[in-house]
Structure 1
Amino acid sequence: MGGASESNQVPAQTIQVGKEQIYKGNLVLINKDYPVHPGSVETDIVNLSERKELLSGFGLLNDKIRLPSNVLQKFTEMVYDAGKEGVNHFIISSGYRDRAEQNELYKEMGADYALPAGHSEHNLGLSLDIGSTLQAMNEAPEGEWLMNHAPDYGFILRYPKDKTAITGIQYEPWHFRYVGLPHSKIMQEKQFALEEYLAFLKERKSILATVNGERFEVRYIPISQDESIQVPVNHPYELSGDNGDGVILTVHLDS
């Protein structure tokens, strides 16, 4: 799936990227060492109980579940397709949490089961806890379906059973994070946790990936201050920070 860069073959233009971009985007790393920056929190966060027209194929644990509109759209698409295969007992038990909610959870659950405010992906807005009304997710058809298919829709299981030493978090078969395509599929193929994927990109600097028959270039660009970077003229691209010291440029070469 990896390969050499095609940057020199794609007509480019120069844009200015501010250092604040490091803290924004689908690939921002949040863990005990990398807290949520105020500029990282997703915008357009909606209360799902107020969007009942979108609640097809899944339920809500309560009327306080919130997610960004784009993540909700991708999740709805995913569970719709699961439903066509007879897997349709999904429930969202948690989505976006503000710092006060996270702090309350941390005090209630303790450090073994919750992260302090500002260090949980739920404070970012790109993560959600998905359950099944049938049984525990590690045994439910919903859990198995997501393990196999969530990356097709841009989601990853954030805390796998065999990555606890890397993520620092115990196995959570319910916690999914949106990173977007092609990243979720690359991570699935290489069996990377998000920490490993970002380290891989930083080391390789540039990779080519073919996902669902479409070609992408993914480039890591270090950013120490406001910088000028090269982006394509004729291809769509996305920028995401890593919440550390760089940004990831993702170019869709076949569009």
Structure 2
Amino acid sequence: MKRYIKRKTYKKKIILILLLAILIGIAANNTIFNPDFSLPSFNGLTHHIASEANGWNLILVNRDNYIPDDYEVELTELSNGEKVDSRIYPELQKMFNAARASGLDLFVAAGYRTQEKQQQLLDEKVEAYVNEGNSKSEAKKLAAQWVAAPGTSEHQLGIAVDINARTTKSSSDKVYRWLAKNAHLYGFIKRYPSDKSDITGVVNEPWHYRYVGTEDATKIYAQGICLEEYMADDKFR
């Protein structure tokens, strides 16, 4: 019996060593062909790091592409205390001025978020679904459709904003319709269209707008595509 146990343990060790060698080989291969690939972290997770090669305005952050650890942002505080990347502030202000000139009353409900704030929002969403009777695993799946995991939220970049209406003066529908039609003129795109959820992994969010710059926003708007599809174009490879 003792010999059998030793033999069995020895075989397990060999299998584990082989698996580890395979994983290292895969990681090395990805590193050679993809400079943005990151090796497994100490907690056992492997994250693909979003590339900044196409410019800060076109960095693609989503469930598969994490914000670089050394990503830095200079913030400008808005009148209501929310903050955004200083580089998008001029165009954001122009867009708001144009919307207000059209009789709409709107505001930035959410701008820049820290990693800690994003984690808090996710935890709260999971807890809410658990309280509705869902299992913890199911609650996490449901929450992920609405709240991005820390490190994968565009709000942590400072170039995405949630825009809502002051409903005492303007309806949400009117504000969302105006944004959908005009935001590209100021460099913003509706980041999560209802017909692109299978690609973005996020349900329809008519309030979430992401800055990419006027030229790219106009192309994305004209083609009726999402950022993932746009960045998959050969010109970005």
> How far apart, CA to CA, are the structure 1 residues paired with 2:181 and 2:70?
32
2:89 corresponding residue in structure 1: 72
- 1:23 and 1:85, CA in 2 relative to 1: closer, same or farther beyond 3 A? closer
> How far apart, CA to CA, are the structure 2 residues paired with 1:36 and 1:21?
10
Answering whether residue 215 of structure 2 is matched by residue 182 of structure 1, we say: yes
> How far apart, CA to CA, are the structure 2 residues paired with 1:40 and 1:153?
24
> How far apart, CA to CA, are the structure 1 residues paired with 2:171 and 2:153?
22
- Residue 23 of structure 1 contacts residue 39 of structure 1 at CA under 8 Å; is this kept in 2? no
- 1:112 and 1:168, CA in 2 relative to 1: closer, same or farther beyond 3 A? closer
Give the counterpart of 2:98 among 81, 89, 95.
81
Answering whether residue 108 of structure 2 is matched by residue 92 of structure 1, we say: yes
> How far apart, CA to CA, are the structure 2 residues paired with 1:27 and 1:66?
20
Between structure 1 and structure 2, the one with the greater Rg is 2
State the SS of the aligned residue for 1:70. Answer: coil
Answering whether residue 149 of structure 2 is matched by residue 116 of structure 1, we say: yes
Report the alpha carbon displacement of residue 198 of structure 1 after superposing the two structures with TM: 0.6
> How far apart, CA to CA, are the structure 1 residues paired with 2:145 and 2:56?
28
Report the alpha carbon displacement of residue 113 of structure 1 after superposing the two structures with TM: 2.1
1:46 corresponding residue in structure 2: 76
Between the aligned residues of both structures, percent identity stands at 32
- Structure with the largest fraction of helix: 2
- 1:23 and 1:163, CA in 2 relative to 1: closer, same or farther beyond 3 A? same
Q: Deviations 1:217-246 (Å, cap 9, x if unpaired)?
A: xxx3x5xxxxxxxxxxxxxxxxxxxxxxxx
Q: Which amino acid aligns with 1:46?
A: T
- 1:138 and 1:185, CA in 2 relative to 1: closer, same or farther beyond 3 A? farther
Report the alpha carbon displacement of residue 75 of structure 1 after superposing the two structures with TM: 0.9
TM (norm. structure 2) is 0.66
- Of the structure 1 ranges 111-120 and 28-37, higher mean CA displacement relative to structure 2 is found in 111-120
Report the alpha carbon displacement of residue 85 of structure 1 after superposing the two structures with TM: 1.9
- 1:37 and 1:45, CA in 2 relative to 1: closer, same or farther beyond 3 A? same
How many positions carry a matched residue from both structures? 171
Report the alpha carbon displacement of residue 24 of structure 1 after superposing the two structures with TM: 5.0
| Structural mapping, 1:13-162, within 5 Å | 21-22=52-53, 25-41=56-72, 43-49=73-79, 60=80, 63=81, 65-87=82-104, 89-110=105-126, 111-134=144-167, 139-162=172-195
State the SS of the aligned residue for 1:182. Answer: helix
- Residue 94 of structure 1 contacts residue 129 of structure 1 at CA under 8 Å; is this kept in 2? yes
1:248 corresponding residue in structure 2: none
- Residue 26 of structure 1 contacts residue 178 of structure 1 at CA under 8 Å; is this kept in 2? yes
- Residue 24 of structure 1 contacts residue 40 of structure 1 at CA under 8 Å; is this kept in 2? no
Q: Which runs of 5+ in 1 are unaligned?
A: 1-17, 50-59, 206-219, 223-255
Report the alpha carbon displacement of residue 82 of structure 1 after superposing the two structures with TM: 1.7
- Structure with the largest fraction of strand: 1
Name the Cα RMSD after superposition: 2.2
- 1:164 and 1:138, CA in 2 relative to 1: closer, same or farther beyond 3 A? farther
Report the alpha carbon displacement of residue 21 of structure 1 after superposing the two structures with TM: 4.4
- 1:90 and 1:138, CA in 2 relative to 1: closer, same or farther beyond 3 A? closer
